[in-house]
Chain A
Amino acid sequence: MKLVTAVIKPFKVDDVKTALEGIGVHGLTISEVQGYGRQKGHTEVYRGAEYKVDFVPKIKIEVVVDDEAVDELVTAITTSAQTGKIGDGKVWVVPVDAVVRVRTGERGSDAL
């Protein structure tokens, strides 16, 4: 099993969710995060005092899938989250040792 993590633009969440439903992914977890890569933040001015806001709001999506589903999933995320402009985000994949469904105690692929 693999954990696929994607950091994307916040307004792309619905597009990604729709794309993942299209390839049979049944669940995902999102969280609000902040960060920066090549896309830098913005400045704000309050009564003449200027502040540089470096971190840009992003959404982190996490999905655990079977090994054979990884390529399709990564492609689906990349395609649906892409705008072509700087700041579209990243996707990365790491191996997962164990997964347990809390309700039933099922383990491994059965828990996905």
Chain B
Amino acid sequence: MDELSSGDTAWVLVSAALVLFMTPGLAFFYGGMVRAKNVLGMLMQNFFCMGMITLVWSVVGFSIAFGEGNGFWGGFDFFALQDLTAGDGAIPYVAFVAFQMMFAVITPALITGSTADRMKFSSFAIFVTLWSVLVYSPIAHWVWASSGWLFKRGALDFAGGTVVHANAGIAAIVLALFLGKRRGWPTGDFRPHNVPFVLLGTGILWVGWFGFNAGSALGANKVAAIALLNTQIGAATAILGWIAIERLRDGKATTLGAASGAVAGLVAITPACGFVSPMGSIAIGLLAGAICALATSIKGKVGIDDSLDVGAVHLVGGVLGALLTGFFATLDTNEIGKDGVFYGGPWSVVGEQALAIGATLGYSAVVTALIALALKYTIGLKVSDEDEEIGLDEALHGETAYRLTSIGGSGFTSAVTATKVPEEAKA
């Protein structure tokens, strides 16, 4: 057993904190895109994940994901996080538990983007709790646990392109399908209420993602460094890919597009960042930005109100990144990785990636559908038409996000025009 490394431990602990910060970042990324009457509803769903999934992960989630168990299920050996000292190495095992906890928190939070503006809070609460235990933990076990069946087959998923993004992306679409459309979609006015929030959230996500990706090296080492570098390159080039498509298709590059591109790039580089070269990251980023931008038009054609494009960004980005890892991976970057097709590797490398994606999407879609159907025909998934019109903030939480009026003496002043007083005229 390795001797404990304070450097490795420090990096993993910092990374855990960075990954936790992604969830409020995501809340603002999504919150800015919804209408003003639903922004608290969105923030609340994300903060609820921070609360509930932390609890669920501590009690059973980690055990199901990382217990020995069999190829498909980790079992309950680590129930309530007992007997964890067994696995101490270069980092204390509890550091790994904490780091992985933050992944478990953000993954169901990603789904909130497709449920925007209309899902019952009670239904959401039960959904994410069941989904974390029945979908996230098992798939994390398959891909990341040493006894997991996809891990043994050698699927490459450095930081969770399949486990986190493709998984949450397909779940988001399936849930949106059973939840139904927002009233008035697609013809109504669903413009974002606060685009600066979207960019603020993107910035938080981006910084947090360094912990997500580079932290997944589980040590302060060369692979962590290249994962961080590749993360930056992937996000940056995807901005360019996305806004290039917008310029060509819509006439103008938008700030929402730049933010969306960055997130799409971060998603796509997630499975790849510890296996590919910087040149590979440039290709993955550019492709992810462009392809995810084009993918936003799919939901309208198939008639599923995936409100904030979780499918186009996380499903398409996650699948794309996982597949491209099979092409761009190189042993020069990571000796425990593989050479992809472009580095002389066999096509079976891409085949294993496709198998991991297919198994994840199939399992996630089916179990998500079962949970959604069970809720739909018991307590119901969707708020009443009246509550939807009022907005989730008031109807579900009894709050108002913005009190931007002077009426009633709130102290807010608006619509004031001012004239600059010349220096010589000052009193």
Name A residues whose Cβ lies closer than 8 Å to a Cβ of B: 13-14, 17, 30-32, 44-51
| B-chain residues with CB within 8 Å of residue A45 when the two chains form the complex | 246, 250-252, 254
Name B residues whose Cβ lies closer than 8 Å to a Cβ of A: 186, 189-192, 246, 249-252, 254, 256-257, 260, 293, 296-297, 300, 309, 312, 415, 417, 419
Q: Do residues B415 and A32 form an inter-chain contact, with CB atoms below 8 A?
A: yes
| A-chain residues with CB within 8 Å of residue B309 when the two chains form the complex | 47
What's the nearest-Cβ distance from chain B to residue A64, in Å? 20
| A-chain residues with CB within 8 Å of residue B251 when the two chains form the complex | 45
Choice from A14, A30, A48 contacting B293 with Cβ under 8 Å:
A48
| Closest B residue to A52 using CB positions | B189
Choice from A14, A17, A30, A48 contacting B415 with Cβ under 8 Å:
A30
| B-chain residues with CB within 8 Å of residue A32 when the two chains form the complex | 415
| A-chain residues with CB within 8 Å of residue B419 when the two chains form the complex | 14
**A50 and B417 alpha carbons, distance in the complex (Å):** 32
| A-chain residues with CB within 8 Å of residue B246 when the two chains form the complex | 45, 48
**A48 and B419 alpha carbons, distance in the complex (Å):** 40
| A-chain residues with CB within 8 Å of residue B189 when the two chains form the complex | 51
Greatest chain B CB density within 10 A among A17, A31, A48, A50 is at A48
Q: How many A-B residue pairs have CB under 8 A?
A: 37
**A62 and B360 alpha carbons, distance in the complex (Å):** 64
Q: Do residues A47 and B260 form an inter-chain contact, with CB atoms below 8 A?
A: yes
What's the nearest-Cβ distance from chain B to residue A22, in Å? 15
Q: Do residues B249 and A48 form an inter-chain contact, with CB atoms below 8 A?
A: yes
**A51 and B251 alpha carbons, distance in the complex (Å):** 14
| B-chain residues with CB within 8 Å of residue A49 when the two chains form the complex | 186, 190, 296, 300
Choice from B190, B191, B297, B417 contacting A48 with Cβ under 8 Å:
B297
What's the nearest-Cβ distance from chain A to residue B422, in Å? 14
Q: Do residues B191 and A44 form an inter-chain contact, with CB atoms below 8 A?
A: yes
What's the nearest-Cβ distance from chain B to residue A5, in Å? 17
Q: Do residues A46 and B254 form an inter-chain contact, with CB atoms below 8 A?
A: yes
Looking at chain B's contact residues, is the secondary structure mostly helix, strand, loop, or mixed?
loop
Q: Name the 5 nearest CB pairs between A and B, nearest first.
A: A45-B250, A47-B296, A48-B296, A32-B415, A48-B297
Can you list 20 A-B pairs, Cβ within 8 angstroms, ordered by A? A17-B417, A31-B415, A32-B415, A44-B191, A45-B251, A46-B192, A46-B256, A47-B256, A47-B260, A47-B293, A47-B296, A47-B309, A48-B246, A48-B250, A49-B186, A49-B190, A49-B296, A49-B300, A50-B250, A51-B191
**A30 and B416 alpha carbons, distance in the complex (Å):** 10
**A51 and B297 alpha carbons, distance in the complex (Å):** 14
**A50 and B252 alpha carbons, distance in the complex (Å):** 12
| Closest A residue to B415 using CB positions | A32
What's the nearest-Cβ distance from chain B to residue A62, in Å? 14
**A42 and B82 alpha carbons, distance in the complex (Å):** 61
What's the nearest-Cβ distance from chain B to residue A31, in Å? 8
**A47 and B312 alpha carbons, distance in the complex (Å):** 10
What's the nearest-Cβ distance from chain B to residue A87, in Å? 19
| Closest A residue to B414 using CB positions | A32
| A-chain residues with CB within 8 Å of residue B254 when the two chains form the complex | 45-46
**A96 and B318 alpha carbons, distance in the complex (Å):** 67
**A17 and B417 alpha carbons, distance in the complex (Å):** 11
**A47 and B190 alpha carbons, distance in the complex (Å):** 12
**A47 and B246 alpha carbons, distance in the complex (Å):** 8
**A29 and B293 alpha carbons, distance in the complex (Å):** 46
| B-chain residues with CB within 8 Å of residue A46 when the two chains form the complex | 191-192, 254, 256
**A49 and B296 alpha carbons, distance in the complex (Å):** 9
**A13 and B418 alpha carbons, distance in the complex (Å):** 11
Choice from A13, A44, A47 contacting B257 with Cβ under 8 Å:
A47
